[in-house]
Structure 1
Amino acid sequence: MKNNKIPVLLFLSLLILFLVGFQSDDPRELTSKEKLGEKLFFDPILSKDHSISCASCHRPEFAFADTSAVSLGVSGTKGERNTPSVTNLSGRPNLFWDGRSASLEHQALQPIQNPIEMNLSIVEAVKRLNDNNIYSAAFQRIFKGPASDKNLSAALAAYQRTLETANSPYDHYINGDDHALSAAAIRGRMLFIGKANCNTCHSGEDFTADRFKSIGLYNGKDLNDPGRFAVTKDSTHLGDFKIPGLRNVALTAPYMHNGMFKTLKEVITYYNDPDAIVKNGKNRDLALSKPLGLNDQEILDIEAFLRTLTDDRFTKLN
């Protein structure tokens, strides 16, 4: 009788290696900004009480997103918005749901110093790194100087730029493999770019137009996150949020800035008839002014297509 435990143990070993990344205590293995950034990304040294890391909320097995509506920071403090994936962010002109950062370098330091996330001042973060033999040696080797806010952000940003994905069933299909998508997914793709008109906002190779839109999830009452308005103070931006990319979207539930939809089917159902789910949504985009008229099978077909955007690197972990 074959021993089935060996493949399982091998898989678990590979999974652990993937999740911890370059966690060696040998500074000689930290030979690049990317490798240093990866170690920092998984290290709780950047949180006030050493309890959480970037990867606590941006979990690799879920395409570097989270599975809760909002993540918990130090001391179990509840966050304010859903944790977005950090894959495919290279070249994005705006980051965070409200677009308050214009570069990965600026974005990288914000969760560290946010009082409801990692709650550590950048001054203290830099001091910890310079007091740590492993990190101080690594920063000297890579940046030719001690850790600073600038090279800390550079290392984290460099690692995030390695998280680009373009190896999904959808990619195989558009590159000539006619069997990469199911019949349902092929129908869903045609609906996505046709009847459902999803590609008006979710366009390009990462399926985002890099703009801000209100889809009606702000009503000033129970749904009261003003989104982009909090940054610009422009009343026309009330309820606007960054249009996220859709790559790996099947792994990043729950959805929307507040995590209000638990499944892709719920998201598509909302777009099919927003007013049936959220009444009196403010500043809702005119493209959603009337129902799409999708039937149940068409909703399932679009969901099937969205699932084909999951990169192979994540399929192996789920």
Structure 2
Amino acid sequence: MGSLSVFGLSLAFRPIALDEEPQTKVQLGEKLFFDPILSSDRTISCATCHKPEFAFADTAKFSRGVGGKLTDRNTPSAMNLVGRIHLFWDGRASSLEMQALQPIAAPNEMNLPIAEAVVRLEQHPGYASAFNRLFKQKPSAQTLAEALSAYERTLETGDTPYDRFVNGDDAALSASAQRGRLLFIGKANCANCHAGEDFTADRFKNIGLYDGKTLQDAGRFTVTKDSTQMGHFKVPGLRNVAITPPYMHNGMFKTLRQVLDYYNQPDAVVKGGHNRDLSLSTPLNLNEAELTDLESFLQALTDDRFTAKANVTKP
């Protein structure tokens, strides 16, 4: 069975055996992440939708929860979230601890009330022992959230061609990817929203994928009830983006090129989007060569451990 490694921490597809005693809070969270005990019918785990081999995202438009129910939105990557101040597409959680429990309780995901999850852990000799040893108390909603978030905080990546390039290796990026980088921060203006180390400004934007008809998810508005945020969604980070299709909150774009085509000519793809951000008010008018270069740069944000597995073009 293959495995990955991040900063010396194992990220195997099932990294710690379910009968193995965790020695740290991280290992406990890791074990829980892969254990279907946290779903109502014990058939799915966090890793069912956040697949390690795809940068802890899913390649389905919508993931399937217990009973085959579909999630409301596309499953985002669970990697590179340490610095995030908003989690979920609508930003309803402001910490990994707040985020960790919500999929467990969601009816169309793991469908297990948190109180029942805690009882299961209390009644499980191995978990009860681990919580008592590591947290000095029995399992609780708080300690469950802390364990899961401790593991999620280890899921950071930074070994990409782009990182090597900015650290002084001029040969790390192809000529195409280097041109794409200049487009990203210049003509295409991607860096206006996708800024910082993880390529997100931690803001909410309406890019025109809400029309109140066929595109009905109102995004951030469902949390704030602020009409100015109708159709706004969290700007996702772009690390490993090449291996996390499909894209957008509704998974409407199957490929990176489709995403770029949309930003290049929004009106040609989606008509009637409400309150679209002014930065998309005029077409980018990138030509085919420029679109190829920009895609090459996005490919270069893929951590090396995923490149061969996902057949990502090496920049």
TM-score of the two chains, using structure 2 as the length reference:
0.95
> Among residues 232, 243, 253, which one is paired with 2:235 in the alignment?
243
Counterparts of 2:228 and 2:11 in 1: how far apart (Å)?
Answer: 47
Distance 1:211 1:106, change over 3 A: same
Counterparts of 2:248 and 2:75 in 1: how far apart (Å)?
Answer: 10
Match of 2:104 in 1: 112
* Mapped pair 1:100 → 2:92: yes
* Mapped pair 1:177 → 2:143: no
Distance 1:312 1:286, change over 3 A: same
Q: Shift of residue 317 of structure 1?
A: 3.7
Q: Structure 1: any 5+ residue segments left out of the alignment?
A: 1-11
Match of 2:7 in 1: none
Match of 2:72 in 1: 80
Q: Structure 2: any 5+ residue segments left out of the alignment?
A: 5-9, 311-315
Match of 2:29 in 1: 37
Counterparts of 1:26 and 1:78 in 2: how far apart (Å)?
Answer: 32
Secondary structure of 1:188's aligned partner: helix
Residue by residue over 1:174-197, the C-alpha shift from the partner in whole angstroms, topping out at 9 and shown as x without a partner, is 111111111111110011011100
Secondary structure of 2:13's aligned partner: helix
User: Greater helix share, 1 or 2?
Assistant: 1
Counterparts of 1:293 and 1:135 in 2: how far apart (Å)?
Answer: 56
Counterparts of 1:317 and 1:86 in 2: how far apart (Å)?
Answer: 18
Q: Shift of residue 33 of structure 1?
A: 1.1
Q: Shift of residue 24 of structure 1?
A: 4.7
Match of 2:16 in 1: 22
Q: Shift of residue 316 of structure 1?
A: 5.1
Match of 2:313 in 1: none
Counterparts of 1:17 and 1:92 in 2: how far apart (Å)?
Answer: 21
Match of 2:48 in 1: 56
Q: Shift of residue 17 of structure 1?
A: 7.5
Query: How do 1:288-307 and structure 2 match up within 5 A?
Result: 288-307=280-299
Match of 1:234 in 2: 226
Distance 1:106 1:304, change over 3 A: same
Counterparts of 2:26 and 2:48 in 1: how far apart (Å)?
Answer: 19
Q: Shift of residue 168 of structure 1?
A: 0.7
Is the Cα contact below 8 Å between 2:264 and 2:286 reproduced in 1? yes
Match of 1:192 in 2: 184
Q: Shift of residue 133 of structure 1?
A: 1.3
Counterparts of 1:205 and 1:171 in 2: how far apart (Å)?
Answer: 10
Is the Cα contact below 8 Å between 1:98 and 1:241 reproduced in 2? yes
TM-score of the two chains, using structure 1 as the length reference:
0.94
Match of 1:65 in 2: 57
What is the aligned length? 305
* Mapped pair 1:256 → 2:254: no
Residue by residue over 1:134-187, the C-alpha shift from the partner in whole angstroms, topping out at 9 and shown as x without a partner, is 111111111011110000000000100001111111001111111111111111
> Among residues 291, 315, 318, which one is paired with 2:307 in the alignment?
315
Q: Shift of residue 315 of structure 1?
A: 2.6
> What is the letter of the counterpart of residue 125 of structure 1?
A
Distance 1:294 1:74, change over 3 A: same
Is the Cα contact below 8 Å between 1:31 and 1:141 reproduced in 2? no
> What is the letter of the counterpart of residue 167 of structure 2?
N
